[in-house]
Amino acid sequence: MLKALYDRVCAAEAIVAAALLVLMVILIFLGGVMRMAGHPINWSGDAATAFFAWGCFLCADIAWRKNSLMSIELLTDKLPPRLQAACRHINFTIISAFLIYVIVAGTWLSWISRARSFQGIPEVSYSWVTMSLPVGGLLLLITTGLKWRDELRAAVPQRNEAI
């Protein structure tokens, strides 16, 4: 049941991330065209910035889940398997600690900026943008936890039930 929920969240995350990135490009292009036409859309750059903040975190989680983030394994590939695993565990620890900090600090930032308007737009709270920090951090932390769990499960020798 949790697996099915997580799969749905991942699918929705991909759709939302793609939509945000497309909207960002459209708004920037439309803002430029309308400015050249003499009718600038002043809020287009601000909205694109908000979409970019959310899109960055969502895309980072998608890339992390698919092992598509940049990594430099030049040195670790030459280590014995046990040291490679230890390096991965250290990396997961550092990443998790950073993401917990991002979640806590981002939640605090969202709370204290709730009354502030985003780029002077009175109807839009700055918290809508800053919430990308804790939400994105939480998604990345879940992905990190699942990767760490898979790493630990792979390290435990599987028992042969046929014996």
Rg (alpha carbons) of the chain, rounded to whole number? 21
What angle in degrees, to the nearest 10, is found between the helix axes of 2-36 and 44-65? 150
Please tell me the predicted confidence (pLDDT) of residue 71: 83
Cα 158 from Cα 97, distance rounded (Å):
30
pTM for the whole structure: 0.86
pLDDT digits (tens, 9 = 90+) for 20-33: 999 999 999 999 99
pLDDT digits (tens, 9 = 90+) for 116-133: 777 767 777 888 889 999
Q: What is the largest CA-CA distance in the chain?
A: 79
Q: What are the residue ranges spanned by the domains of the chain?
A: 2-155
14, two tokens:
């991909």
Alpha helices in the chain (DSSP H): 2-36, 44-65, 81-112, 127-130, 132-155
Please tell me the predicted confidence (pLDDT) of residue 93: 97
